[in-house]
Chains A and B, each alone.
Chain A
Amino acid sequence: MSSFTDTVIGAAGAKGIDNTAGWKRLRNRRVVRRAVIGLILPVMLVFTWWLASSRGWLPEQILPSPAYVYATAVEMIASGEIFYHAGMSLRRVVYGFMFGAIAGLSLGVAMGLSRTVDDYVRPIFLAFAQIPTLGWIPLLMLIFGIGETLKIIVIAKGALVPMTMNTAAGIRSVPANYVEVGRALRFSRLQTLRLIVLPGAAPSIFTGVRYGLTHSWTALVGVELLASSEGLGYLLVWGRQMFWLDVVIVAMIVIGIVGFLMDKGLDVAETYFQRWKRSEGEA
């Protein structure tokens, strides 16, 4: 009955008072308890999985046993195979994302700063952006073949759209009086851009980076599923074709872990680049 409000009050309490040692210990204990409770379901899932495969409820091709998947994972790590494929995928994402992000940042800055550029570019850009990245792949395959160029372009396109839109929106939303301060200080155009406009737009640009990287990663899996002979997406297709579900599951887990790590990396980068914001809040 009261569990609804407890959650909210509990959360607010933990946030408000945590400077005494007693509270800290209590909070640590709470963190441990949360972690243990959070592990119950995964453990149960693995147990059911193990039960289902060891009792033969489902055939091996449909559901290999957890032990078998684990053995495959260990083998793929030992032989370095998984690092080879993950490395290929990561390299593609890094290149593609870099090109896409740089292009998107430049386009977004141009659109954000100049009404004229925005008027010219926005309609056609939005029209192209309507088509999902996945939709472009077959068309680009006909033009560029199935080599690395195709992959880089598709991944870059994934990053380009959110980067452009968020950069432009961020720059537009920089308050006019900030820019006026710059004018009062007789900043040059470059100084205004570097010291006022870009920092002001930074939160929005970071949203763009985050979405861009997520889209790039999705695009990578898509393009590797359709056309590749190495990489994590290829492992998925190959495992699927051979009915090696253990390989498929290992590849899925690695894709999840890499996605998770990229997300966490962005969190760290974001707090680092926006540390001025935090200190301003605390002062």
Chain B
Amino acid sequence: MTVLSALQTPRAVKIRRGLTLPVLLLIFWEVSSRTGLVDARFLPSLEDVFLTAKRELVDNNLFGELTASLLRNIAGFVIGSAIGIVFATLLALSRAADALVTPTFNGFKQISLLAWIPLISIWFGFGEQAKIVFVAIAAFIPVVLNTYEGMRNVPRDLIEVGHALKFTNVQRVTRIFLPAAMPSIATGVHLGLIYSWLATVGAEYFLAVGPGVGGLIIAGRERFDMALVMVGVIILGLVGFLLNRLAAAGEAYLLRWRVTAH
């Protein structure tokens, strides 16, 4: 295959097209910041951004900030989704709990996530605890909604099988309800992971004490350091992307039995 024909395969065409706009954007960026077309305070040169990234990475412990963010993200996410799965299982399987609690949960759910921040900061301060509580709430809500949905939609014949086999209540949960609702739970956990990263950023913006990528961006804004803000924003995007990939891979792994079932 010659070079020319290799460039004509559908895949190559797709890649070439996909790269066109980003490359054009970078060229436009570089040219306009070099020629002073756009004020360098608003659009620092690529070199500037790169140097800032290097400075933060080597001199200013960017990894420490990132680790701090990730740790509180994971802590909040694990707490929120674990409580969420248990809570939703209870609601879905017990009629009494459902009637008592679900309307109240639906009421609280309506309050936009970020609106919790002032209340949390008064009750838990600005420290680590407040941030983790907030991240946990963010993960909790989608996990509850999807787990509940999944458990409610377990096919009736499966439940009857459990009846026929005289399963105990615990067996029903572990052998029937949890596995049958697993796709839905996985969706909830996946969403929870995305929301918790969003919440981590939010918590670091508004409860800006201690290390973290969000704090870095806020500091960059306060110092009018566009390059620093850009570095932070790029890191946010990268971490979000990686978390998303990780969740998708985990989901595929957990649900691998489904492929053979079809």
Binding site for B on A (CB under 8 A): 1, 3-9, 12, 34-35, 37-42, 45, 61-62, 116, 119-124, 127-128, 130-132, 134-139, 141-143, 217-218, 221-222, 225-226, 232-233, 236-237, 239-240, 243, 245, 248-249, 251-253, 255-257, 259-260, 263
Contact = CB atoms under 8 A, between A and B. Distances in A.
B229 A4 contact: no
B104 interface: yes
A8 B156 contact: yes
B107 A256 contact: yes
A256 B22 contact: no
B233 interface: yes
B123 interface: yes
A-B interface, 5 closest residue pairs, ranked by CB to CB distance from nearest: A38-B103, A240-B118, A119-B17, A123-B18, A131-B237
B229 to A, nearest CB: 5
B80 to A, nearest CB: 17
Nearest to B103: A38
Interface in B144-197: 156, 159-160, 163, 169, 172, 197
Interface of B: 13-14, 17-22, 25, 41-42, 93-96, 98-104, 107-108, 110-119, 121-123, 156, 159-160, 163, 169, 172, 197-198, 201-202, 205-206, 217-218, 220-221, 224, 226, 229-230, 232-234, 236-238, 240-241, 244
Given A4-B159, A45-B104, A237-B118, 8 more contacts: A131-B240, A134-B202, A134-B205, A218-B113, A218-B114, A243-B122, A248-B122, A252-B119
B196 to A, nearest CB: 11
Given A5-B163, A143-B42, A119 B111 contact: no
Contacts of A123: 18-19, 21-22
Contacts of B110: 256-257, 259-260, 263
Contacts, number: 169
A142 B224 contact: yes
A4 B156 CA distance: 11
A130 B122 contact: no
Contact of B22 (A119, A127, A233): A127
A140 to B, nearest CB: 10
10 contacts: A4-B169, A38-B102, A120-B18, A124-B25, A131-B234, A134-B114, A135-B236, A221-B113, A248-B118, A256-B115
Nearest to A131: B237
A35 B240 CA distance: 40
A63 B22 CA distance: 51
A8 B159 CA distance: 9
A248 B116 CA distance: 9
Contacts of B240: 130-132
B122 to A, nearest CB: 6
Contacts of B93: 3-4, 7
B217 A138 contact: yes
Contact of A3 (B19, B94, B101, B233): B94
A141 B42 CA distance: 10
B94 A136 contact: no
A38 B19 CA distance: 55
A127 B237 contact: yes
A124 B104 contact: no
Contact of A1 (B116, B169, B217): B169
Contacts of B229: 138-139, 142
A120 B25 CA distance: 13
A217 B115 CA distance: 11
B198 A139 contact: no
Given A119-B14, A143-B42, A225 B206 contact: yes
A15 to B, nearest CB: 13
B213 to A, nearest CB: 9
A128 B22 CA distance: 11
Nearest to A143: B42
Nearest to B226: A142
A5 B237 contact: no
A57 to B, nearest CB: 14
Given A127-B22, A131-B237, A225-B114, A41 B100 contact: yes
A130 B205 CA distance: 18
B104 A142 contact: no
B235 to A, nearest CB: 9
A240 to B, nearest CB: 4
B237 A130 contact: yes
B111 A255 contact: yes
A1 B41 CA distance: 68
B198 A134 contact: yes
Contacts of B20: 120
